[in-house]
Amino acid sequence: MLKLLFSGATSACFELKNDAPYYAPEKFTIYLNAAPVRACETNVFSLFGLTPDTEYALRIAGETLDESLYFRTKSEICVVDVKAFGAAGDGARDDTAAIQAAIGCLPAGGRLYFPAGRYLSLPLTLKSHITLEFAEGATLLGSTERERYPVIPGSISAPGGKETYFGGFEGDARPMYLSLLTAEYAEDIAIVGPGTVDGNAQNGDWWTDYASFPAARPRLMFFNRCKDVALHGVHACNSPSWQLHPYYSEQVGIYDVTVSAPKVSPNTDACDPESCDGVEIIGCRFTVGDDCIAVKSGKIELGTKLNKPADHHTIRNCLMEHGHGAVTLGSEIGAGVRNLSVSKCVFVGTDRGLRIKSRRGRGKNCFINNVTFENIRMDGVLTPIAINLWYNCCDPDRESEYVWSREKLPVDDRTPRMGRFRFRNIACTNAEVAACYIDRLPEAPIDEVALENVSVSFSPDAKPNFPIMENFAKERCRLGLYLDNVRRIRVRGVRLEGVEGDKLIAAHYEEISKDGFEVN
């Protein structure tokens, strides 16, 4: 019942295996080598301040719970205190040169340690085979001097037409300001510790005048074409735009990480893995101004040219509060999404819970398939399930007739496709707008949507709002199940409470089955 998720030289992360979303069935005490460490109430928990290359005995015990395991921390070549390179950590002096020098000097297998303090810095570039550790009370603080942020190209063409890619934003290879922590074409990188990486965007102009900037805003952490990246325990906050952005990378693990930004901050998605393979997001807490998680794979140009789908993603035991969507696919998914599992999560106060958004023009490689959402609890989520193929943001032609036309247009190289989606063991309370709103293109229906053991109750104070973002959108309130252009609809064990009007509105389908559909 106890699983080791991550082990570094000085920290480790564990998961209690059960069927309870995010919170453990009971509170328990963590013991390390028989000594009590602290109480805990979540399925995922971490230990810090461990000794490298050391075996530990872990035990957790509660009223009925008693589990143990042995684990060993990793060995390391050396540990370097960033202050040994001249970093002040006083929040006033610029520590960029000192930190970058320390990173440059660190040998493979080394760890750069940030003791308690505030390290004011411009963007930093990372390299392979290193660990950055932020101790409790340590904060890497982003500089607000935008004019001093380097701008990197989206791509550079070599003789013969081969391109090398460096930067991107919203599905295109674009020039962008260098992110606070950036790794390009690197491997074996870990960023750990209970400390903080703070973009400090609220004290600059990143959230106010960005439409006039000469390049795309930086991320807080950007990993371009990297492999074996681990983020463990850190608090990431206040990024100029997306907070964590793995980009065309492989084997990315994000464990027990907290990401936060004000609810009104623009485009501050917590974690947006783009065209990655093998991503784990486990035990995290996200509360931001946009989507909590948005799985992406580029717009049609990169989706066609590179055709790198988002594949083998696992999201589990996470808490997501506020934001436009808790778990979102899209809208930039030109190479598609496949083999995605979202389970044992809790969503509170987001606009939508499970959100899929795309549109005509994403391309024929935009195929979304084998997607499962299960064992999820939601409270105060306006629309728990939303699949929208009429999304009208992020593109110059967003208001064109091609995007909004309800006519059955020809299927061509620009037409996205959708396969099978399963939603099961999902309980939602205090919804407001719609229990489930699925609206697909008439020329390319979804193959199958299965809703099994899903319950939705509406708030007595529900207010009308928009279930999806589209041109000519209509407000809804306490709408039941709405499914348009889905070939096969499976409804089993669905319970709705507080619906106004028809409990099920289904149109343009080939087959529908209903088994145990209750409405109060």
pLDDT, tens digit (0-9, with 9 covering 90-100), for 40-75: 999 999 999 999 999 999 999 999 999 999 999 999
In the predicted structure, residue 100 carries a pLDDT above the cut 80: yes
In 440-516, alpha helices (H): none
CA nearest to 261, candidates 286, 238, 284, 241: 238
For residue 426, what pLDDT band results from cuts at 50, 70 and 90? Answer: very high
**Per-residue confidence (pLDDT) for residue 478, from 0 to 100:** 98
Record the tokens describing residue 374, joined without a space: 């299960």
Lowest mean pLDDT among 388-397, 443-452, 490-499: 388-397
**Per-residue confidence (pLDDT) for residue 519, from 0 to 100:** 67
Q: How far is CA 301 from the centre of its chain?
A: 23
Dihedral of the CA atoms 395, 401, 444, 342 (nearest 10)?
A: 30
In the predicted structure, residue 159 carries a pLDDT above the cut 90: no
Record the tokens describing residue 406, joined without a space: 């309800």
Count Cα neighbours of 319 within 13 Å in the Cβ-side half-sphere. Answer: 14
Q: What would the pLDDT profile of 172-214 be if each residue is shown by its tens digit?
A: 999 999 999 999 999 999 999 999 999 999 999 999 989 999 9
Query: Strand, helix or coil at 202?
Result: helix
Average pLDDT over residues 130-138: 98
**Per-residue confidence (pLDDT) for residue 160, from 0 to 100:** 80
**Per-residue confidence (pLDDT) for residue 161, from 0 to 100:** 78
**Per-residue confidence (pLDDT) for residue 393, from 0 to 100:** 87
For residue 106, what pLDDT band results from cuts at 50, 70 and 90? Answer: very high
Q: Decide: 144 and 121 in contact? Cβ < 8 Å.
A: no
What's the CATH fold of domain 76-272+286-290? Answer: Pectate Lyase C-like (2.160.20)
d(CA 310, CA 341): 12
In the predicted structure, residue 396 carries a pLDDT above the cut 90: no
Residue 389, amino acid = L
d(CA 315, CA 343): 6
Which pTM value belongs to this model?
0.97
Exposure string of 435-457, with b = 16+ CB inside 10 Å and e = fewer, is bbbbbbbeebbbebbbbbbbbbb
Radius of gyration of the chain (CA): 23
**Per-residue confidence (pLDDT) for residue 520, from 0 to 100:** 60
> Which residues are identified as catalytic?
290, 324
Other CB atoms within a 10 A radius of the CB of residue 305 amount to 14
In 336-474, alpha helices (H): 401-404
For residue 409, what pLDDT band results from cuts at 50, 70 and 90? Answer: very high
In the predicted structure, residue 471 carries a pLDDT above the cut 90: yes
Residue 504, beta-bridge partner list:
481
Record the tokens describing residue 499, joined without a space: 């619906």
Is 294 exposed, middle or buried, given 0-12, 13-18 or 19+ CB atoms closer than 10 A? buried
Q: How many H-runs (helices) and E-runs (strands) does the chain carry?
A: 3, 45
Record the tokens describing residue 26, joined without a space: 């009971």
CATH 2.160.20.10 positions along the chain are 76-272+286-290, 294-520
**Per-residue confidence (pLDDT) for residue 118, from 0 to 100:** 98
Q: What would the pLDDT profile of 271-324 be if each residue is shown by its tens digit?
A: 999 999 999 999 999 999 999 999 999 999 999 999 999 999 999 999 999 999
What's the CATH fold of domain 294-520? Answer: Pectate Lyase C-like (2.160.20)
Domain covering 2-72 in this structure, CATH number: 2.60.40.10
d(CA 463, CA 478): 8
Record the tokens describing residue 54, joined without a space: 């050391």
